[in-house]
Amino acid sequence: MTSSVIYEGDLRTTCTHLQSSSPIETDAPTDNNGKGERFSPTDLLATSLATCMITVMGIKARNMNIDLKGMRADVEKIMKADPRRVGGINLTFHIPDALQGLSEKEVAILKNVALTCPVQNSIHPDIKVNIEWNWKTT
């Protein structure tokens, strides 16, 4: 098993990663009867794309002797109705100044790894993913 999820009441869950015992909580979003005090399940879906992309880029970068520390991704989730679902995910990657001098080839390798991460490969094609890279190459 990967995790255990307990319903705490009032539209909140506590999720525990079984291998590490690390917890996270979720709340229903304010636009769906919740308080929005924690990530919503759909927030986690959108955010998991960014974390997966950065993680696999980090693995590849480490093998290339590149440190991605400080890279940031801003995540915007777009909801659709009827049925209520995630309709789009907008990601904006912010690249630290120290990484702005990578070669075009290095950047292309890292972007390709990100675009083929397991979460991206799991997202339904009806979910439109837009990615902006703030990366300057040499």
104 to each of 25, 50, 138, how far by Cα in Å? 40, 22, 7
Contact 79/89 with Cβ under 8 angstroms? no
Rounded distance between C-alpha atoms, residue 72 and residue 85, angstroms: 26
Q: Are the CB atoms for 129 and 73 separated by under 8 Å? A: no
Taking each helix axis from N to C terminus, what angle separates 104-115 and 41-63, rounded to the nearest 10 degrees? 140
Contact criterion met (CB below 8 Å) for 24 and 12: no
Residue 72: strand pairing partners: 94
Q: What is the per-residue pLDDT for 136?
A: 72
pLDDT at 123: 97
Which residues, in sequence order, are bridge partners of residue 134?
Answer: 94
* pLDDT of 138 strictly over 80: no
DSSP state of 37: -
For the cut 90, the answer to whether the pLDDT of residue 42 exceeds it is yes
Q: Where are the domains of the chain?
A: 1-39, 40-138
d(CA 27, CA 40): 5
Distance of alpha carbon 119 from alpha carbon 64, whole angstroms: 23
pLDDT at 1: 93
CB of 33 within 8 A of CB of 27?
no
* CATH architecture of the domain with range 40-138: 2-Layer Sandwich (3.30)
pLDDT in tens, 12-29: 999 999 999 999 999 999
Task: Average the pLDDT over 80-84 and give the result.
Answer: 94
